[in-house]
């Protein structure tokens, strides 16, 4: 076993100091040492994106980042997303959009999707559907078929741009559709 | 009764059936506060890692664990020899076979479990697994199931070589598991002998894997002082797991607690009991510490529960104008090295006998031979009811093949053969009683929505143009599913009838908790069950907590798979709610000092008939239930219901797909996919649409890319997400959804179940479309998956290379 290393970084704005083996992966440090179990492990080979977090303004798959690489970094996980909401809202526009558009089912991919969606909207506040799909191609979802995820990102983009937002799933069916 | 607007507001406040209630599950998942198995961390917890076989078939000549045990931090290494004294080196499967927990002298599939290393953390466990030395003597592997019954085929299961009878009757060969047949063979043969037209088609349904995003795993924690075992586990059926663990361990079920916490998708993969669960439980009992085991993705894709692997021959007999007179089917079913297929006990091929589909077919006969091969065990229903995807694929492909033979449009052929609305309940020639259906309007609605004649005209024009690079295919599927297993007279697992359950307690403040024997894996039970209670008992859904998955608190149930939650547990929810409502009515009448017969239920209150201003709300009644009940009535307001369904439910749908296929590269683009589903009464349209999107996407994955190919030595080629196709947002098509409503007559609320229909129905629809692109060139069937490479091979076989015209011959 190699000697352990002290690594210091900022996790959702709060300083974090961890002692790890040089081989330890960031996802394990986040989940097991920092008790941030939002990011998930779906493959450990960078394919599924469930472990996606934001590091120094870029999306990274934390299953293939060594914790020592995070020295001095600003790391943002799903647990820190709500704190970035505009105007003191309880949830970030993306979180609200995902709920309103039914963009999650089992919820396992959701933290990674949200963090990737966050990075997309930071870079491009008005993405087209094709751009959203391309940007999310590194995040797999087995439940939703992506269509509602795309709508959720569009919902959030509109809200963040200050435009009116509306769910595509009104609570009660329109009067015309209700049985007599 | 109030004004229209007031009624609408009360309806909205209830969030009952029929409304798109936002999901109760979402807030925790959106904030990283889900609680999946790998999120569980207990003091003193150890971590397990499996040592697996690199060979598909080999004798184990030596296992040396000494180097692993010498590694600091390794706490134990288990092999079959360690499990033998506990009689846990083998375990029973759900299919009446046995499966090695840790290989007992021989391995029978690649990546089979050989030893289990327990260490202080996951890194040390992985290091320890590397240090376990195993020597093998390789044996010839049996890979091709169609060779399994040949005289000189390698024997996969030497442990049962001499057994002439298996769990499902006589075995004809050491690699034979069962022969199961159903239908009138003689009558069917006679129908074929006298038929004007017959078609035959060999149809392979490749081995695929459900691949939920969360892999399987568990945390086992045995409390030596109390003698209690708690296991947090990725299980779609926690109560069944408790019974299995009790049988295996001899610990009474009262001292076993199985908890399925949040589950990151199941799709059938999380029905079974896997060796890693057993070894983790043993390790926890032996070491007295909690033990966590979480599969890697490759372990998940190569060892826990595949689906399909059916080699089918279908035959149809018909009149010249396309009326189908008989169906004959033979299937060779590859079950891998152990028969761990998850089916109700009496049905080794599940509900495959729904293969007469949506059509009036007077004669049918089906025979299925299950065989062993040197592949990993499984045979689960991947987002479908037991073997229904295979059955629907067969009949829908056969209808297309017949349509091509007769030169009749495939939608017209279906319309001519549909079971008519007035024929329901309809008894199929294979003995199933279809509850309800109305197939023709569904198909006609789809054809109108997509302007089918215009599509046909476009296709005709394309086919006429010799320079057209993109071929156009139109696929159709009009499926009938069978879900909601099932009536206990027909269906059991390990002898336990396939009922399901619900328990509701209404608190003094009018809020309630409800617990069921099912477990959601993303289907949104916490949202939709509350909607049923809201409509049936008048308690706002927002005031209802729904709990599932903890065997210490939830009533016994058979779990969530085969679209059984709404048809079975949903019925229990409705019936328990009605018991609550009836007691509440008596209490309300008592409070109003009138007879219960004079009181009627209205959304969220009880009203005196004829005097709408005299009423008691359900909330008021709930309070009274704890202080002022009628004489002779018990205090409290709670109900339990165990629902044993009288029949299955039969959801159906009509799908249409348009693909463009590049005749030079084999690339296929899904231009349009229109899916109409009829799942009976609709509880939450938003969630239904989400389930349909997901099922269509998994169907797209299976049809267009998923496969588990093996080389001749039994090496699985592609057990990573690099090789195994899981569609991303980029390649997933846009889905259009629609519906009709034909309630189930026997279900308390008329609901049939929906989540699996889109998977079952879309797969043959994609194949139908891809084949149709080549139909004018004489192609009648193509084997899945329709990857660009496979389709390109078809193009090559037809001579569709650059420099040739490729025009209609």
Give me the catalytic one of B756, B765, B794, B795. Answer: B756
The minimum CA-CA distance between B56 and chain A, rounded to whole Å, is 23
Check whether residue B468 and residue B414 sit in a common domain. yes
B515 is catalytic: no
Q: How many independent structural domains does chain B possess?
A: 3
pLDDT at B215: 98
Nearest CA in chain A to B521: A106
Which string of DSSP letters, residue by residue, matches B513-566? EEEES---SSS-HHHHHHHHHHHHH---GGGEEEEESBTTTSPP---S-TT-II
Give me the catalytic one of B24, B383, B397, B605. Answer: B383
pLDDT at A177: 57
CB contact under 8 A, B19 and A173: yes
pLDDT at B6: 84
User: Is B468 within the bounds of a domain?
Assistant: yes
Return the bridge partners of A109, or none. none
User: Is B200 within the bounds of a domain?
Assistant: no
pLDDT at B718: 87
Which chain B residues have a beta carbon less than 8 Å from that of A28?
122
Let me know if the fold of A5-80 is the same as that of A82-160: no
Beta strands in B126-172 (DSSP E): 133-138, 165-166, 169-170
Which three-class secondary structure state does DSSP give residue B292? strand
Q: Which of B8, B25, B31 to mutate to test the interface with A (most CBs of A within 10 A)?
A: B31
The shortest CB-CB distance from B123 to any of A21, A45, A108 is to A21
pLDDT lower than 70: segments of chain B = 1-2, 803-809
Tokens coding B154: 């390698």
What does the alpha-carbon distance between residue B31 and residue B132 come to, in Å, rounded to a whole number?
Answer: 41
Check whether residue B74 and residue B222 sit in a common domain. yes
Contacts of B688 (CB under 8 A, 6+ apart): B677, B679, B682, B739, B754
Over residues B559-587, the pLDDT tens digits come to: 999 889 999 999 999 999 999 999 999 99
Residue B459 is part of which domain span? 388-485+649-797
pLDDT at B7: 86
* Mean pLDDT calculated for residue range A101-105: 98
Instruction: Tell the residue number behind the tokens 């150890």, with chain if given.
Output: B46
What does the alpha-carbon distance between residue B214 and residue A179 come to, in Å, rounded to a whole number?
Answer: 40
B236 is catalytic: yes
User: Is B538 within the bounds of a domain?
Assistant: yes
What does the alpha-carbon distance between residue B514 and residue B428 come to, in Å, rounded to a whole number?
Answer: 38
Which chain A residues have a beta carbon less than 8 Å from that of B264?
40, 42, 106-108
Which chain B residues have a beta carbon less than 8 Å from that of A100?
22
Mean pLDDT of chain B: 96
* Mean pLDDT calculated for residue range A155-180: 84
Check whether residue B470 and residue B537 sit in a common domain. no
Return the bridge partners of B548, or none. B516
Which three-class secondary structure state does DSSP give residue B74? strand
Which region among A9-18, A66-75, B3-12, B120-129 has the lowest average model confidence (pLDDT)?
B3-12
Residue ranges of alpha helices (H) inside B407-524 are 410-417, 439-450, 452-464
Q: Check residues A1 and B73 and name the one with the higher pLDDT.
A: B73
Check whether residue B221 and residue B278 sit in a common domain. yes
**Angle at Cα B563 formed by Cα B559 and Cα B564, nearest 5°?**
45
Q: How many CA atoms lie within 13 A of B308 on its CB side?
A: 30
User: Is B188 within the bounds of a domain?
Assistant: no
The minimum CA-CA distance between A148 and chain B, rounded to whole Å, is 8
φ and ψ at B45, to 5 degrees? -70, 135
Check whether residue B100 and residue B25 sit in a common domain. no
Check whether residue B431 and residue B393 sit in a common domain. yes
Q: Which CATH superfamily is domain A5-80 in?
A: Beta-grasp domain (3.10.20.30)
pLDDT at B737: 98
CB contact under 8 A, B123 and A105: no
Check whether residue B637 and residue B530 sit in a common domain. yes
pLDDT at B803: 60
Which three-class secondary structure state does DSSP give residue A125? coil
Nearest CA in chain A to B127: A1
Whichever domain contains B120, its CATH number is 3.90.1170.50
Domain boundaries, chain A: 5-80, 82-160
What does the alpha-carbon distance between residue A151 and residue B517 come to, in Å, rounded to a whole number?
Answer: 34
pLDDT at A179 over 80: no
Check whether residue B532 and residue B459 sit in a common domain. no
> Given B608, B643, B678, which residue is the final one in a domain?
B643
Nearest to A94 by CA among A45, A46, A159: A159
pLDDT at A82: 97
- Answer whether B734 touches A (CB < 8 Å): yes
> Given B595, B615, B643, which residue is the final one in a domain?
B643
pLDDT at B2: 54
Check whether residue B454 and residue B505 sit in a common domain. no
Yes or no: domain A82-160 corresponds to CATH 1.20.1740.10 = no
B 95-134 residues inside an 8 A Cβ radius of A: 122-123
CB B553 within 8 A of CB B515: yes
Tally of CB atoms within 10 A around B360 = 17
Give me the helix-helix angle, A147-160 and A93-100, nearest 10°. 140
Check whether residue B67 and residue B120 sit in a common domain. yes
pLDDT at B806: 46
CB contact under 8 A, A48 and B721: yes
Check whether residue B521 and residue B449 sit in a common domain. no
> Given B606, B621, B643, which residue is the final one in a domain?
B643
pLDDT at B808: 44
- Asked casually if ipTM beats, i.e. exceeds, 0.90, the reply is yes
Give me the catalytic one of B216, B355, B384, B765. Answer: B384
Whichever domain contains B477, its CATH number is 3.30.365.10
The model scores a pTM over 0.80: yes
Check whether residue B617 and residue B658 sit in a common domain. no
């Amino acid at each position: 076993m190699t000697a352990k290393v002290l690594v210091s970084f900022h996790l959702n704005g709060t300083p974090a100091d961890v002692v790890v083996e040089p081989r330890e992966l960031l996802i394990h440090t986040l989940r097991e040492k920092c008790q941030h179990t939002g990011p998930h492990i779906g493959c450990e080979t960078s394919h599924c994106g469930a472990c996606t977090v934001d590091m120094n303004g870029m999306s990274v798959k934390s299953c293939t980042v060594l914790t020592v690489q995070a020295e001095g970094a600003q790391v943002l996980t799903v647990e820190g997303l709500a704190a970035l909401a505009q105007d003191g809202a309880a949830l970030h526009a993306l979180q609200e959009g995902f709920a309103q558009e039914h963009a999650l089912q089992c919820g396992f991919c959701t933290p990674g999707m949200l963090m990737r969606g966050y990075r997309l909207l930071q870079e491009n506040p008005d993405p087209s559907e094709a751009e959203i799909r391309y940007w999310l191609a590194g995040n797999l979802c087995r439940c939703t078929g992506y269509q509602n995820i795309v709508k959720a990102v569009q919902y959030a983009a509109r809200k963040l741009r200050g435009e009116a937002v509306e769910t595509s799933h009104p609570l009660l069916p329109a009067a015309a559709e209700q049985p007599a | 009764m109030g004004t229209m607007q007031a009624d609408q507001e009360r309806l909205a406040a209830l969030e009952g059936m029929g409304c798109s209630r936002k999901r109760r599950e979402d807030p925790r998942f959106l904030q990283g506060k889900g609680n999946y198995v790998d999120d569980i961390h207990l003091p003193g917890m150890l971590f397990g890692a499996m040592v697996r076989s690199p060979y598909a078939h080999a004798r184990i000549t030596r296992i040396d664990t000494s180097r692993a045990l010498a590694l600091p931090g390794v706490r134990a290494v288990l092999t079959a020899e360690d499990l033998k004294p506990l009689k846990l080196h083998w375990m029973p499967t759900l299919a009446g076979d046995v499966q090695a927990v840790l290989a007992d002298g021989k391995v029978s599939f690649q990546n089979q479990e050989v030893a289990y290393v327990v260490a202080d953390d996951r890194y040390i466990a992985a290091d320890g697994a590397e240090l376990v030395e195993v020597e093998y003597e390789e044996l010839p592997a049996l890979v091709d199931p169609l060779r399994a019954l040949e005289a000189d085929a390698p024997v996969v299961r030497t442990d049962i070589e001499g057994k002439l009878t298996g769990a499902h009757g006589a075995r004809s060969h050491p690699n034979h598991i069962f022969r199961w047949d159903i239908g009138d063979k003689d009558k069917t043969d006679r129908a074929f002998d006298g038929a004007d037209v017959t078609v035959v088609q060999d149809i392979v349904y490749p081995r695929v894997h459900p691949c939920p995003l969360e892999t399987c795993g568990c945390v086992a924690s045995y409390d030596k002082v109390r003698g209690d075992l708690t296991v947090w586990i990725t299980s779609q059926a926690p109560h069944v797991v408790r019974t299995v663990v009790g049988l295996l361990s001899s610990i009474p079920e009262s001292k076993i607690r199985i908890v399925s916490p949040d589950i990151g998708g199941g799709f059938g993969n999380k029905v079974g009991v896997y060796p890693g669960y057993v070894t983790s439980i043993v390790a926890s009992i032996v070491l007295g510490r909690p033990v966590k085991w979480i599969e890697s993705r490759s372990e998940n894709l190569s060892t826990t529960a595949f689906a399909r692997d059916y080699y089918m021959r279908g035959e149809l007999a018909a009149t010249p104008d396309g009326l189908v007179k008989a169906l004959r089917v033979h299937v060779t079913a590859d079950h891998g090295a152990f028969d761990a297929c998850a089916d109700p006990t009496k049905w080794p091929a599940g509900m495959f006998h729904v293969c007469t589909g949506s059509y009036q077919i007077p004669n049918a006969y089906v025979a299925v031979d299950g065989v062993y091969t040197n592949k990993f065990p499984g045979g689960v229903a991947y987002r479908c009811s037991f073997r229904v995807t295979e059955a629907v694929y067969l009949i829908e492909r056969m209808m297309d093949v017949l349509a091509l033979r007769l030169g009749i449009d495939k939608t017209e052929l279906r319309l001519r053969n549909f079971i008519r609305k007035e024929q329901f309940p309809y008894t199929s020639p294979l003995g199933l009683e279809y509850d309800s259906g109305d197939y023709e309007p569904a198909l006609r609605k789809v054809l109108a929505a997509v302007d089918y004649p215009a599509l046909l005209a476009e296709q005709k024009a394309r086919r006429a143009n010799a320079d057209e690079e993109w071929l156009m295919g139109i696929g159709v599927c009009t499926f009938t599913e069978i879900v909601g297993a099932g009536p206990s007279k027909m269906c059991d697992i390990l002898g336990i009838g396939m009922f399901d359950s619900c328990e509701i307690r209404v608190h003094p403040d009018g809020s309630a908790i409800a617990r069921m024997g099912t477990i959601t894996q993303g289907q949104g039970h916490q949202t939709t069950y509350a909607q049923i209670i809201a409509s049936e008992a008048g308690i706002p859904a927002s005031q209802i907590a729904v709990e599932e998955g903890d065997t210490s608190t939830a009533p016994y149930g058979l779990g969530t798979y085969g679209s059984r939650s709404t048809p079975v547990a949903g019925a229990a929810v409705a019936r328990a709610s009605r018991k609550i409502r009836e007691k509440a009515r008596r209490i309300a009448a008592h409070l109003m000092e009138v007879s219960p017969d004079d009181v009627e239920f209205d959304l969220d209150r009880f009203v005196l008939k004829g005097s709408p201003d005299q009423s008691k709300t359900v909330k008021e009644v709930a309070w009274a239930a704890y202080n002022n009940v009628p004489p002779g009535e018990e205090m409290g307001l709670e109900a339990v219901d165990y629902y044993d369904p009288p029949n299955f439910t039969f959801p159906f749908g009509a799908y249409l797909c348009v693909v463009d296929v590049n005749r030079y590269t084999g690339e296929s683009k899904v231009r349009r996919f229109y899916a109409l589903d009829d799942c009976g009464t609709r509880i939450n349209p938003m969630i239904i649409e989400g389930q349909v999107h997901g099922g269509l996407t998994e169907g797209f994955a299976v049809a267009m890319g998923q496969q588990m190919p093996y080389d001749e030595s039994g090496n699985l080629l592609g057990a990573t997400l690099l090789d195994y196709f899981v569609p991303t947002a980029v390649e997933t098509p846009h889905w259009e959804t629609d519906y009709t409503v034909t309630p189930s007559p026997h279900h308390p609320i008329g609901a049939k179940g929906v989540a699996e229909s889109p998977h079952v129905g879309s797969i043959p629809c994609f194949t139908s479309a891809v084949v149709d692109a080549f139909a004018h060139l004489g192609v009648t069937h193509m084997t899945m998956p329709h990857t660009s490479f496979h389709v390109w091979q078809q193009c090559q076989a037809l001579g569709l290379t650059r420099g040739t015209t490729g025009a209609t011959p």
